[in-house]
Homo-oligomer: A and B are copies of this chain.
């Protein structure tokens, strides 16, 4: 309280990180929609699904209302402007650039969405495993819905890159910290940090998930 400016700056920084992560998720939808040559409606819907689909599915399963995008409808305007802007100004080489530039905000989003989803499920009284699943779903199922609508097998289930697995581990770290009685801010930080760090490690070392032990076809 001695330094309100400092507090405001930290809070603003957090909001900016969250916004950046949400934009990264939305851009993953935009890039896929561009690849599939969807029209303006499809671009907006797919980008919106990628950004908000995971949290919305979690809230339906937990029977929570209002959804994030209902409580903060301003985000819908931002999404609309972003999508139409991209359709006007995005060039072919921008798509590749966007994908590369968004890898890191996406890894941060994976951690943030996992931690917030797991925490919300714990508060709703879910058992540990279910809370971890809800965190994973928050982080991963936006992309899953994006891919299903674009008629692809979801890359999270198919590309053998550790992604949902990082969320899974991060969720368990959060739950473990919660069970130890550690303060909530620490649990959230640990869960998000571990998920993001694992994802970053997986990208840097190009780790792959184990395959089926032998080809089945």
For A72, the closest partner residue in chain B by CB is B127
Q: B209 touching A41 by the CB < 8 A rule? A: yes
A1-51 contacts to B, CB under 8 A, are 33-43, 45-46
Cβ contacts under 8 Å, A180 to chain B: none
Copy count, this protein chain: 3
Any B CB within 8 A of the CB of A217: yes
Complex interface residues of chain A between 90 and 126 (CB less than 8 A to chain B): 90-92, 95, 126
Given contacts A63-B65, A65-B63, contact A38 B76 (CB under 8 A): no
Interface size on A, residues (CB 8 A): 62
Q: CB-nearest residue of chain B relative to A209?
A: B39
Contact in complex: A127, B70 (CB < 8 Å):
yes
In the complex, chain A residues 153-186 whose Cβ is within 8 Å of any chain B Cβ: 153-154, 156-160, 163-165
Q: Which residues of B contact A165 (CB under 8 A)?
A: 40-41
Docked Cα-Cα span, A127 to B128, in Å, equals 35
Q: Assuming the A-B contacts A69-B130, A87-B210, are A216 and B35 also in contact, with contact meaning beta carbons closer than 8 angstroms in the complex? A: yes
Q: List 7 A-B contacts (CB under 8 A).
A: A39-B209, A40-B209, A42-B158, A73-B127, A95-B216, A148-B148, A151-B152
